[in-house]
Amino acid sequence: MDDAKPEKELCNPCSLTTKNLKKAALRKRKVSTAPAKPKAPFSACRSEKLIATVKASRLAYKQLEDQLEQLKAHIKKHGVGVTKAGINIDNIESLREKASSLSQVQRYVVIVIDERKIQSNLVFDKYLGDLIGFVDLGDPVTNYASLGEEDVMATHALAFLVRGMCSDFRHVIAYYFTENVTSYQLMSIFWKVVGALELLLKLPVCATVNDGASPNCKFFDLPVDLRPTNFQLVRDLNCDVVHKVPNLIAVQRFIFFFADSCHLIKTARNCLYNSGSGSCSRLMWNNGNYLMFKHIADLFYSYQEFALHTLPKLSLDHIVLTSYSKMKVKLATQVLSKSVAIALEESENDEVLGTAKFCWMINDFFDCTNVRSLTKHEKKETHSSNHTTYQDDERFSWLKDVFLNYLETWKQSTIT
């Protein structure tokens, strides 16, 4: 007989349970090496699972880092960055690309200076990590020289727009945040813009246009005060208005100063509106005749009871001005127009003749100076709106002999 004990045989239920336990242990060993789920508690994870989780997290973090770097490179190459105040390199390159196809004649440009009111507030720029809203003249040295160590909230945005003289291209080359910009600050910024256009882009600057604000008017006179040669130039021209100065970058050329005609006609309308009405800040008088907005308002109200009248374009928005309507050039041109002048003359009231004459002069002046279309004069059927094609145009004679004489006579009548 064999004394060896035979192997213990298991019953079917026990055998099945044993197999399941072996499978569960094998599955548990496999799961232990897999990363833990996001919400799994650390206390329930074995060391192998924690190690696998850290490795997987590092791998995912590296993949996200690579994707972020690729995204940054794509944005830097194809995206449009947020420019800072001043003359920005991106603006220079964009303007260089636009001007690359221009001929030599088309490269002559005009600088348009405009300042607009903005809301005074501080905003955090998440792209630059800076607080935006303080006065910024584009250069830390200029900011410190003008403002010192004090941070001043900006109230206006000053933009420098470049427009072609013989082409239709336009581009903002620089902008600044200002509070009460002075003529000295404006002169410094202006010549920096001229230098960038002349030296970096080879675009000759022949003129500058802006409104009739007080700093702009003083800015026109500064070159005469600072350079004796400019004073001699003005004295030789026998005039008391500075209309051109030598270009500091290219002394063989001049830069001419122009006041924007749209701003001038709004200023003329606002002065007439405040003459005897509105804020009553003045009472305009010319050679025995009062110039008053009341004459136009009374004529408008007297026509309201008639269905047909000679002033169909005038409405209550033209007569009762608000801060918004004062900025609309169209309303100013329709008030100081030929139709209003004719209606005043036909009213058979001698007291309104001064206002009618004023409307005539401003209407013809605006037609002479505000010409953009080559075909506008055909629709209006007036020669004054035609574009200028030669230097001996009769409108230049009218501006010099008639319009300036009207202003000079007006000035002399107020003195005497």
User: Within a domain: residue 405?
Assistant: yes
What is the pLDDT at residue 379? 57
Does 60 fall in a domain? no
Residue 29 lies in a domain: no
pLDDT for 72 beyond 90: no
pLDDT band of 4, cuts 50, 70, 90: very low
Strands (E), 72-231: 86-87, 109-117, 123-125, 130-132, 156-164, 170-178, 205-210
d(CA 385, CA 100): 33
The H or E element that residue 97 is part of is helix 89-99
**352: its two tokens:** 């309104």
Residues 292 and 383 in one domain: yes
192 and 276 in a single domain? The answer is no
Per the DSSP assignment, residues forming a β-bridge with 222 are none
Please indicate, yes or no, whether residues 252 and 272 belong to a single structural domain of this protein. no
- 193 & 207 share domain: yes
Q: In whole angstroms, what is the distance from residue 210 CA to residue 221 CA?
A: 14
Residues 244 and 270 in one domain: no
Q: Any bridge partners for residue 176, and if so which? A: 158
pLDDT tops 60 at residue 76? yes
> 282 and 406: one domain?
yes
- Helix spans in 237-328 (H): 261-273, 293-303, 316-319
Average pLDDT over residues 51-69: 82
Residues whose CB falls within 8 Å of the CB of residue 73, separated by 6 or more in sequence, listed in order: none
Residues in a beta bridge with 164: 109
Structural domain count, the chain: 2
Do 269 and 387 share a domain, yes or no? yes
Structure tokens at 35: 């990363």
Helix ranges (DSSP H) in 196-292: 214-226, 228-236, 261-273
Calculated CA dihedral for residues 40, 41, 43, 46, nearest 10 degrees = 20
In this structure, is residue 186 part of a structural domain? Answer: yes
CA-nearest of 158, 80, 155 to 122 is 155
- Same domain flag for 180 and 300: no
Distance of CA 303 to the CA centre of its chain: 40
Q: Which tokens go with 355?
A: 């206002």
Q: Quick one: residue 81, left, alpha or beta (phi over 0 = left, psi -120 to 50 = alpha)?
A: beta
**Residue 278 shares a structural domain with residue 168:** no
Q: Does residue 127 register a pLDDT over 70?
A: no
pTM above 0.75, yes or no: no
DSSP single-letter state for residue 42? G
Q: Percent of the chain scored above 90 by pLDDT?
A: 24
The parent domain of residue 128 ranges over: 86-227+239-259
SS3 content of the chain, % helix, strand, coil (to 5): 50, 15, 35
Assess whether 209 and 306 both reside in one domain: no
pLDDT for position 319: 92
Is residue 20 in some structural domain? no
24, part of any domain? no
280 and 345 belong to one structural domain: yes
Q: Which residue has the higher pLDDT, 339 or 75?
A: 339
- The burial class, CB within 10 Å (0-12 / 13-18 / 19+), for 131 is exposed
- With contact defined as beta carbons under 8 Å apart, do 296 and 319 qualify? yes
| pLDDT tens, position by position, 317-373 | 999 998 888 889 999 999 999 999 999 999 888 899 999 999 999 999 998 888 765
Same-domain check for residues 246 and 298: no
Output the CA torsion 311→313→316→317 (10° steps). -140
Question: Does 411 reside within a domain?
Answer: yes
The mean pLDDT value of the chain amounts to 81
What is the phi-psi region of residue 130: left when phi exceeds 0, alpha when psi lies from -120 to 50, beta otherwise?
Answer: beta
Length of the chain (residues): 416
| Rounded Cα–Cα distance for residues 114 and 263 (Å) | 11
Q: How far is CA 295 from CA 267, 361, 411, in A?
A: 18, 17, 22
Confirm whether 9 is domain-assigned: no
Two tokens at 114? 């405009």
Question: What is the rounded average pLDDT of the residues 97-124?
Answer: 86
Give the whole-angstrom CA distance, residue 408 versus residue 321.
Answer: 29
Mean pLDDT calculated for residue range 224-245: 62
Question: pLDDT tens digits for 272-297?
Answer: 999 988 888 889 999 889 999 999 99
Q: How far apart are CA 334 and CA 343, in angstroms?
A: 13
Residue 397 has pLDDT above 70, yes or no: yes
